[in-house]
Amino acid sequence: MGLGLLTLPAVLLLLCGRRTECTAGFIKSPLSEVRLTGEAVEIHCEVIGRPIPEIQWWFEADYSNNESFSQLWDGAREERVQINATYIFHATSTLCVTSLTPEDSGTYECRASNDPDRNHLTKIPRMKWIRSQANVMVIDHPDITTNAVYMSEKTVILSCNLSVNSLIVSGHRWLKGSKVLHEDKDTSNVMTYNVTGLPGDGSGQYTCEFLTTPDVRMVVNVSVSPQVLHLKASEHGNEGDTGVLTCQSNSFPPVTDWAWYIVSPNAVEVIGNGSSDRYVIKSTGNQTVLRISNVDIEKDQNEYTCNATNELGTGGDVIHFKVRSRLAALWPFLGIVGEVVVLVTIIFIYEKRRKPDEVCEDEDSATGALKSNSGANNDNLRQRNSN
């Protein structure tokens, strides 16, 4: 069985046996990192032993001349240092330093010990602290020149230029949000990308990333005036209910202000939250919702315009709001009732006409039977007289 398949208690049992005490030992040491100013770095170490060892973090700056380490505590460096540790089957600890500066460059040391006297001020511990080090280098973010050239209303070419030659480029990557749009292995200090589909979903924030050590990136904005969308060209509502009209805009920069208007044949009326008790407008970022309570077929069946404004201009769209009458839902039922009434009437008339014909046929049958009986009686009477 490979060690990778063993659980931590099993590894501890193999290394320490049945002994109650076992010297601390690293099973994962911190790794050296290179980071840019303003970024964050995480280094991690894990230790086993009996009893479970304690982990401490120490630091020595690159610019230090006396080669002395200082202990790091959670919340140090103006709350930029965060230390998380767990002690269950073994000891684990993660050191995170945020908003890095060049002064954060140096040697970070993970120390561990399970000696009972390890922190005693006068006693000499029987077992020394074990140590594992990692170097963290923080470098200034290189200058990246960005540009966006609008070739037409629907196309823009983005470019990024890495101004330093000290970083070795192994490739490029273009992203929009977290989605990778393009990636290559070109070693050039210049990268470009064509954006199409403007002015709709093509706007937004694009990231050009140079694959170096560490990776360097810059954001390029593709900005347009708001392009307003609605889910349906026309909305329907029932008289007396609440009508809901919705508009949204996915354009960049984000919408800063929304406005609603009623467009009637005679005038254009501005709708606001205070203009009427029946109107409620709720706008959140790139979406706005107009609610009309107690919809009236005479007053509210109109065209409504929603306008969005950002730093580049204004855009809008029109929604046709159609109101159904209260009786609209009854028409299917009334149609069925009408069909039933017509069908019953036809059956009734048919039955009414059929019954007199049957009565006449019955009378004719009775008359014929009487005539037959009369003829038979006459024949019998003649026979008697002849006798």
Q: Where are the domains of the chain?
A: 22-139, 144-222, 228-324
**Out of 3.30.70.1880, 2.60.40.10, 3.30.420.40, 1.10.3210.10, which CATH number does the structure's domain 228-324 have?**
2.60.40.10
Q: What is the mean pLDDT of the chain?
A: 84
Give the tens place of pLDDT for each residue, 181-190.
999 999 999 9
DSSP 153: S
pLDDT digits (tens, 9 = 90+) for 279-316: 899 998 889 999 998 888 888 888 999 999 999 999 99
Instruction: Name the band, by pLDDT with cuts 50, 70 and 90, for residue 374.
Output: low
CA distance 82 to 191: 37
Average pLDDT over residues 343-351: 79
Q: How far apart are CA 218 and CA 172, in angstroms?
A: 12
**Tens-place pLDDT, residues 95-138:** 999 999 999 999 999 999 998 888 877 777 677 889 999 999 99
What is the C-alpha separation between 308 and 120, in angstroms, rounded? 68
Q: Distance of CA 305 to CAs 8, 235, 268, Å?
A: 65, 13, 10
CATH class of the domain defined by 22-139 = mainly beta
SS3 335: helix
**Per-residue confidence at 12, pLDDT binned at 50, 70, 90?**
low
Contact 304, 321 (CB under 8 A): yes
Which pLDDT belongs to residue 103?
93
Q: Which fold has domain 144-222?
A: Immunoglobulin-like (2.60.40)
Q: Which residue did the predictor score with more confidence, 189 or 378?
A: 189
Output the pTM of the full model.
0.67
The answer on pLDDT for 191 being more than 90 is: yes
Q: How many CA atoms lie within 13 A of 133 on its CB side?
A: 8
Smallest CA-to-CA distance from 247 within 154, 350, 318, 193 is with: 318
Q: What percent of the chain has pLDDT over 90?
A: 47
pLDDT in tens, 18-74: 666 788 899 999 999 999 999 999 999 999 998 899 999 999 998 766 678 899 999
* Amino acid 198: pLDDT: 81
Lowest mean pLDDT across 49-58, 227-236, 303-312, 323-332 = 323-332
**Is the fold of 22-139 the same as that of 144-222?**
yes
